Amino acid sequence: MSEIAELRLLAGFCLGAGDFGLEAHLVQEVVKPGEITPVHGAPPGVVGIRNLRGRIVTVIDLAVHLQLGVVNHGPRTRLMILDGQGDLTGLLVDSVTDTFDVDLATLEPPPGNLSAALRGKVKGVWRQGERLTAYLDVRTLFEDEVGGL
């Protein structure tokens, strides 16, 4: 056990009934979904594209991507903008909660009963009382897709 806690700042968000977290420094900004232009023929999970200050963002429904249903749009629906080497991706999530520090040492390994779509994409689970947050691994999140993130 290391004496200095190795902390990670996570940005927390909800998909359906589940709590998830991504490393906050990867999230460029969080915006409302805005007007999304559908792209017909796009791969599953890609909802469409939108304009973010003159740049094109590919919008992905993270719930569809992780086979957790569909993001039910409402007033709290948000897009988390990730910049993958100049290629902007917007992850559509049900809501964005807050940011919080996670001590990597207290991270529990992902449970064995993860669905196939989630397997390999969860780095660990962080427990806060009753609440469980799945720490998503951005490196593997889009691995099964051409190009990745």
Partner 1 sequence: MDDNDELLDVFLQECQEHLTTIEADLLEIEASGAQGSEEVVNKVFRAAHSIKGGSGFFGLTQVKEVAHRVETVLDLMRAGKLISDSAIIGLLLQAFDELAAMLHRPKGQADADIEALLLGLDQLANGTREPTAPNPEEPVMLSPEGGFGSVAVTRADLERAKRTSLTLFRVILDLVHDVDRLGRTVVDVFSAVSQDGELLDCEVDYFACGTLDDEIGRELPVTLVLATALSVDGLKGLFPGAEPVLHRLLEAQPATAATVPVAPTAAPVAVTPVAVAPDAAPAPSKAQAREEEGGDTLRVNVRLLETLMNLAGELVLSRNQLKAAVDRGDDDLLESVNQRVNQVTGEFQDVIMQTRLQPVGVVFSKFPRLVRDLSRTLGKEVRLEIEGKDVALDRTMIEGLSDPLTHMVRNAVDHGLEMPDERARQGKPATGLIRIEARHEAGLVVLEISDDGKGLDPERIAQSAIKKGLADRAKVALMSDAEKQALIFLPGLSTADKVSDISGRGVGMDVVKTNLSRLGGQVDIDSVVGRGSTFRIKLPLTLAIIPSLILSVENERFAVPQANIEELLRLRAEDVKTRIEVVGGTEVLLLRDKVLPVARLADLLGVLPTYHDPSTGLQEIDRRKLGFDQRSPGRRTLGHEPPAVAPRSAADRRQAEGSALDIAILSTGSLSYALVVGSFHDTEEVVVKPLGRRLHHLREYSGATILGDGTVALILDSAGLAVKAGLTPVSGSKRAAELAAASESRRLEETQSLLVFQNGPHETCAMPLDLIQRIERVKPEQVESLGSNLTLHYRGRLLPLVSLSRAAQLDSLDGVEDLAVLVSQVGGRDVGLLCSLPVDSVETSVVIDRATLRRKGITGSTILRDKTTLIVDLFELVDGMYPDWSSSVLVKAAPTAGVVPDKPVLLLAEDSEFFRAQVKKYLEHGGCEVLAAPDGQKAWELLEQNVDRVRLVVTDIEMPLLDGLGLAARIRANPKTAKLPIIAVTSLAGEEDAARGYAAGISEYQVKLDRDRLLASVLARLDGRAQEVVA
Chain positions contacting partner 1, by CB under 8 A: 32-51, 54-58, 60-61, 64, 70, 72-75, 77, 87-89, 145-147
In the bound state with partner 1, the residue whose beta carbon lies nearer, of 64 and 102, is 64
In the bound state with partner 1, the residue whose beta carbon lies nearer, of 129 and 147, is 147
Q: How far is the CB of 99 from partner 1 (least distance, A)?
A: 24
What CA–CA distance (Å, rounded) separates 45 from 77?
16
What CA–CA distance (Å, rounded) separates 38 from 65?
16
Compute φ and ψ for 144, nearest 5 degrees. -75, 5
- The DSSP symbol for 126 reads E
Q: Coil, strand, or helix at residue 48?
A: strand
In the bound state with partner 1, the residue whose beta carbon lies nearer, of 75 and 112, is 75
Q: How far is the CB of 113 from partner 1 (least distance, A)?
A: 26
